[in-house]
Structure 1
Amino acid sequence: MESEMARSQREKVVSARPGAPPAGDEPAKSPSGRSLRGLDGLNFLMADVRDGLGPFLSVYLKGTQHWGSGDIGLVMAASGIVAALCQIPAGLLVDAVRAKRLLIAISGLLVAAGCLLIAFFPKLPTVLAAQITLGAASAIIPPCLAALSLGIVGHRLLPARISRNEGFNHAGNFTAAILAGALGQYVGVIWLFYLICGFAVASAVVVLFIKSREIDHDLARGSENPGGDAPHRPIAFPELWKIRDLKVFILSVVLFHFGNAAMLPLAGQVIAKVHPGMDVIALSACVIAAQLVMVVVAAVVGRAMRKGIGRKKIFLVALAVLPVRGILFSMTSSPYAVVAIQLLDGVAAGIFGVIAVVIASDLMRGTGRFNLAQGLMALAVGVGAALSNVTGGYVVEKFGFTAGFLTLSAIGGVALIFFAMFMPETTPREDHIAAPGSRSEDLIPTSP
């Protein structure tokens, strides 16, 4: 009953918009193989660029520069906080402009420049300034990639496209992790920074493969009737916030990342402290193992949605993993055990990467505010990650690593209960029956 009432409320808000089309009124999309391969390549290369150094920054500062956990948590949080502040403006910018390919290229190059600044000047003020730059630049990339995907393939094919995007994203992370581990172990940690620069430059070239004329910019912002004669008008902000499901979903995303984000950086610090010299290679193994799992999980999630399994059930699996992972991390300092436990992150993060974008698309369908919702979701990710890194870092300083992991585990349990109780299913009725051509492998046509 709650799900039907929530769905009715959302449809009422959307249908109240002047000129709103009937649900499901969307022409078939037939993007070229070149544009779709461009999306594949962009997701592969941007996997390493959009996150900067990620957990490797924590290991670099702890193992090489001998920073304290509190300062590490502070600079890790700085990027997330700035990114959080930039998310809504970034979503509005992606909605408004047509130069989405240029935005992605510039943002990636700024991330690369910030990473080089950290490498050459690893002092607290400099690293803070660089992290602020990275946070601002990286805010634009996820909503821009999602907008390009929706604008090219349309609503009906979006779940399969996002599943494919995440597969290439995790494959890119896997490749980058192998290179990072080899470079860090045999050449030097400084080469991790050069690696990101190489990926950034390559992504700026690959984005040119996407044909600009195949991007429907009304559709890319969540219009239900792209290409129509009447101009598309998005719903007003006050109307957007009447969608209860959106508020529940955003808070769920905050809680997910609050419980999840700091676990791997803290595990890396444990290894750097207990097994010095093994930190970079062990963390690389963690990332490699998790990314391999994520590639498989992304494909499985796509197939599950095509078979009619609801978005809520799939997301609950990801949330259930968090408490288990935190408890297991609290029980060991063995590098091999840490790598094994990190496989669970492959399940949770693999599910989140696909299902969160699809849920946002479901909630915003017909509102014209899809990219704003992407900004809100990224804001929630940034807030959750910042809270996780700051809380985890200072709990570890005061009470030790075991207390830090158990605190994050408890937060993950709260996220699971909250989502299960308050979030309804968002799968559109027409999507319960798999549409012809909706398989991810069908998104690569034979035409050039």
Structure 2
Amino acid sequence: MTSGAVVTPRAPSVFHRSLFALSVLNFFLADARDGLGPFLDGFLATHGWEPFTLGVIATVGGVLGMASTPLFGALVDASAYKRTLIILPVTFVTTMALWTLATPNGFSVFGGQSATAIVGAVIGPALMGLTLGLVGEERFSRQVSRNEFWNHTGNVVSLAAIYAGTLLFGIHGVVGLMLFAAFATIAATLAIDPKQIDHQVARGLAHHDGSEAPSGFSVLAGSKGLILLSLVLMIFHFGNAPISRLIAQAFSIQLGTPFRTTAITTGVSQLSMIGMALLAPWLIRRFGLATIFIVALAALPIRGVIAGTFPSFAFVFPVQFLDGVGAGLIGIATPIAAERILSGTGRFNVGLAAVMTVQGIGASLSNVVAGWLTDLGGYGLAYWVHGGVALVALALFVWGRHDIAPGTPSSTADR
């Protein structure tokens, strides 16, 4: 289907099957899109890799993914093959993760993670474009929350399965679960009926009768709201991105069980994110999108204070719960804000990709800084500094909140 094509009328049963398949896709994509994901640091730390080196790996991957994301966003806007843009990256990312597990040397780790970052960068924009094209802008806010609910639920189930799998089968359990998640993700993606995807709406055009054309790319540079949103997220992710990684490193070494320890710490934040995904539609309707951002941004400084003050493993639970509040709500609010800011321009996916790129700058730079701070003053110093950075993001958001989180012209927009 081309961008000017007329969408086939939606049969309710087919449409609902596609939405069900979208939920299943998000459930399994939680495990398939990031390869080793949160387990990488703990796995490599127990193989003698130092915090600074792990920070460099994360930074290199982040920079490469950051550079690729806008190109992939433009590709998603122009492409009528959004399902393919999910299937191919998932296959590649899984292959690279298995390579790293089999031979965790410098070539496989740096090469595999760099390639994963580049190819994996297309999945986020493709999933958002597919979602918007399926449900339309009026139902987009609620569907993003549903996507996040199933994504985090999938993460929790995956973490529990990995915990049990490593206990029973060791590293072979991890390999089996990764392969199963990849095959299930591909099957769910193929189950989405491509005729139900409106590719005009998927790129941020409200109509699909051929009367509108996408705005020029200059609309992105001229959007005050998009620029401020990008800066707020860059600062937030600079503060938030390394904390869970550092926790995984510290307690994997201390307890000597990288996969099970990371499963516990990550599982707490994922359970919290499930709660946030369930609450988010109501919170947005009741208090507005701006309030969601404020709560999310305020959670990070508190998280940093607790992590920096109390080094006991017991305090991982409130620290990771706050990660679910902050990162969970930000993950829901960001595409909704971008869709509102860019509504009618036809540049939603590339605009969202540009936001993800700028926030990726913060996340990537933070990894080297966090490694340096850890070497300088221990994990506690890194927690304090990165948690405190979020205060700057909070102040910037409060100043520009009307541009970053605009309201909607229709009361149905948050359904």
> TM-score, length-normalised on structure 2?
0.93
1:66-77 to structure 2, matched below 5 A, reads 66-77=48-59
Contact preservation (8 Å) 2:72, 2:121: yes
Compute the displacement of 1:109 (Å): 0.6
Contact preservation (8 Å) 1:139, 1:378: no
Give me the whole-angstrom Cα distance separating, in 1, the residues matched to 2:166 and 2:319: 22
1:377–1:280 distance in 2 versus 1, CA, 3 Å: same
Partner of 2:37: 54
Give me the whole-angstrom Cα distance separating, in 2, the residues matched to 1:272 and 1:172: 23
1:114–1:251 distance in 2 versus 1, CA, 3 Å: same
Partner of 2:267: 288
Contact preservation (8 Å) 2:220, 2:351: no
Give me the whole-angstrom Cα distance separating, in 1, the residues matched to 2:133 and 2:79: 13
Give me the whole-angstrom Cα distance separating, in 2, the residues matched to 1:428 and 1:238: 23
Contact preservation (8 Å) 1:90, 1:375: yes
Give me the whole-angstrom Cα distance separating, in 2, the residues matched to 1:262 and 1:294: 18
Contact preservation (8 Å) 1:330, 1:402: yes
The 3-state SS of whatever aligns with 2:206 is coil
Contact preservation (8 Å) 1:38, 1:207: yes
Compute the displacement of 1:189 (Å): 4.0
Partner of 1:21: none
Partner of 1:379: 357
Query: Which of the residues 277, 294, 317 maps onto 1:298?
Result: 277
Q: CA offsets per residue over residues 322-342 of structure 1, 9 Å max, x none? A: 111111111233222213321
Q: In the alignment, does 2:188 pair up with 1:206?
A: yes
- Paired letter, 1:330: G
Partner of 1:347: 325
Partner of 1:23: none
> TM-score, length-normalised on structure 1?
0.86
Partner of 2:25: 42
RMSD of aligned Cα (Å):
1.9
Contact preservation (8 Å) 1:170, 1:292: yes
Q: In the alignment, does 2:390 pair up with 1:412?
A: yes
Contact preservation (8 Å) 2:252, 2:262: no
Partner of 2:409: 430
Contact preservation (8 Å) 2:89, 2:120: yes
Compute the displacement of 1:37 (Å): 0.5
Contact preservation (8 Å) 1:94, 1:143: yes
The 3-state SS of whatever aligns with 1:330 is helix
| Percent of aligned pairs with the same amino acid | 32
Give me the whole-angstrom Cα distance separating, in 2, the residues matched to 1:151 and 1:29: 15
Compute the displacement of 1:406 (Å): 1.1
Compute the displacement of 1:220 (Å): 0.3
Give me the whole-angstrom Cα distance separating, in 2, the residues matched to 1:183 and 1:145: 29
Compute the displacement of 1:28 (Å): 10
Partner of 2:146: 164
Contact preservation (8 Å) 2:248, 2:265: no
Partner of 1:314: 292
Compute the displacement of 1:294 (Å): 1.0
Compute the displacement of 1:193 (Å): 4.2
Give me the whole-angstrom Cα distance separating, in 2, the residues matched to 1:28 and 1:317: 38
Q: CA offsets per residue over residues 3-42 of structure 1, 9 Å max, x none? A: xxxxxxxxxxxxxxxxxxxxxxxx9996711110111011
Q: In the alignment, does 2:91 pair up with 1:113?
A: no
Compute the displacement of 1:422 (Å): 2.3
Give me the whole-angstrom Cα distance separating, in 2, the residues matched to 1:202 and 1:411: 39
Where does structure 2 lack aligned partners over 5 or more consecutive residues?
Answer: 1-8
Count residues in correspondence: 405
1:166-245 to structure 2, matched below 5 A, reads 166-189=148-171, 191-226=173-208, 228-230=209-211, 232-245=212-225
The 3-state SS of whatever aligns with 1:78 is helix
Give me the whole-angstrom Cα distance separating, in 1, the residues matched to 2:199 and 2:412: 26
